[in-house]
Amino acid sequence: MLDIKVIRKDPAAAKTSLAARGVKAEEIDKLLDLDQQRRTVLTQTEKLKAQRNEKSKQIAQAKRNQEDAQDQIQAMKVVGEQIKNLDAKLAEIDQAMEYILVRLPNFPDASVPVGPDESYNVEVRKWHEPRKFDFEPQAHWDLGENLGILDFERASKVVGSRFVYYMDQGAKLERAVYNFMLDEHEKDGYTEVIPPYLVNADSMFGTSQFPKFTEDVYTIIDEDRPLTLIPTAEVPLTNYYRGEILSEDQLPTYLTALTPCFRSEAGSAGRDTRGLIRMHQFNKVEMVKYCKPEDSFAELEKLTANAESILQKLELPYHVVALAGGDASFSSAKTYDIEVWMPQQKTYREISSCSNCTDFQARRSQIRYRDAQGKLHFVHTLNGSGLAVGRTVAAILENYQCADGSVEIPKVLVPYMKGITKLSK
């Protein structure tokens, strides 16, 4: 959530910055108008409360002196009613302000490419040239089905579209991929966590999925305690310290987790209907960081490098893209997407998204730290996929395929596959 003080201090800069995220200037004007009303009402309330306190002392003194204080008491009843009405108005204004504030995205950093959509994204770097095939490469779903390791048809029968059964060596490959990732992240200083896969509405609010993106998730309807299946481990990991004050020496904190992720994929009808790219349920290894504000952009570079190192060790070609303001996620101040090469489609596809959310999530979640002087500050939070496991499996199948439909196993995964070096029928 944005700091109203920052918007109030420089409305023009706030409008310009948020315009890149699709926010209309009228929304900022409405917010600032409410803010002015709030301060006016608050001033009136404080004056009346001060007057009431002073008169209460005078009434008490009059009673001690056995003097008639009925007129003053009646006057204070009128003041009390005025205060009650103003407090109600203040609560109404606060609610209206919060409605706007919680729906405003984060300010994009000055280094973020300016533009409304992905066509304005900028390639930052590229690693490894794509392999040149001497045969027409197959799609990963065809490879997986022919090898008997991916079964989309039966998953569709049991659940519906965008689900899959990993079978036999396919299940082993998926497990090998995420175990490799977790081991690598441990070397990079991350603490492994197995978090809850269900979270409450406060947690979804804290990481900005609620209230704006309720249609993108699966929520269990329960009048007493509605819970949501996590769309990413970012939610339980970032909310781990929700409502807490950390000590400065706890920062930075690095957490990583393998979890299933559940997404409704609202609005994606007709997109990636085949294969492992856009699923309703998939595994992902997530990285989350808490750090001091002055360190967060350096930590973003390190976070991105941690995700890249996985692809480099798997020897999968990729490039890194800086997202334009209009293409970045709601809570992000700056995002790098890592896109892996998919030979059959002859294009790069997103496999990781690494974001610095600055203090945006920390304000919503009330996560602060106390510095050496005892002063409180909001932490900065970062998150990144390290990596999306199913997409990594898809990339391995396509990039390591052979002409006969078999698939070689990347060298670093062979120990995790109990020595298996090739998948074949």
Q: Is 350 annotated as a binding residue?
A: yes
Report d(CA 171, CA 416) in Å as an integer: 12
Report d(CA 119, CA 346) in Å as an integer: 18
Q: Is 136 annotated as a binding residue?
A: no
Q: Is 351 annotated as a binding residue?
A: yes
Query: Within 10 Å of residue 394's Cβ, how many Cβ atoms?
Result: 25
Q: Are 223 and 254 a contacting pair, CB within 8 Å?
A: no
Report d(CA 303, CA 309) in Å as an integer: 10
> In the annotation, is 64 catalytic?
no
Report d(CA 352, CA 166) in Å as an integer: 22
Report d(CA 403, CA 409) in Å as an integer: 15
Q: Is 332 annotated as a binding residue?
A: no
| Nearest to 349, CA basis, from 316, 304, 312 | 316
Report d(CA 40, CA 99) in Å as an integer: 20
216 alpha-carbon distance from chain centroid: 13
Sign of CA dihedral 72, 78, 80, 83: negative
Q: Are 398 and 342 a contacting pair, CB within 8 Å?
A: yes
Residue 278, SS3 per DSSP: coil
Q: Is 352 annotated as a binding residue?
A: yes
Name the residue with tokens 């973020």. 112
Token code pair at residue 212: 């704006």
Report d(CA 282, CA 275) in Å as an integer: 12
Q: In the chain, helix, strand, coil percent, each to 5?
A: 45, 20, 35
Q: Is 264 annotated as a binding residue?
A: yes
Burial of 255 (C-beta count, 10 Å sphere; 0-12/13-18/19+): buried
Q: Is 385 annotated as a binding residue?
A: yes
> In the annotation, is 391 catalytic?
yes
Of these residues, 353, 364, 365, 368, which one is catalytic? 353
Q: Is 161 annotated as a binding residue?
A: no
> In the annotation, is 350 catalytic?
yes
Beta bridge partners of 175: none
Of these residues, 103, 131, 278, 370, which one is catalytic? 278
Give 211's contacts (C-beta < 8 A, 6+ positions apart). 102, 103, 205
Cis peptide before 415 (omega within 30 of 0): no
CA dihedral 163, 167, 170, 172 (to 10 degrees): 120
Sign of CA dihedral 164, 165, 169, 175: positive
> In the annotation, is 353 catalytic?
yes
Report d(CA 139, CA 154) in Å as an integer: 19
Q: Is 17 annotated as a binding residue?
A: no
Of these residues, 27, 145, 350, 408, which one is catalytic? 350
- The catalytic site residues sit at 263, 278, 350, 353, 391
Binding residues: 232-234, 263-265, 286, 350-353, 383, 385
Binding-site residues for ATP sit at 263-265, 350-353
Annotated binding site for L-serine: 232-234, 263, 286, 383, 385
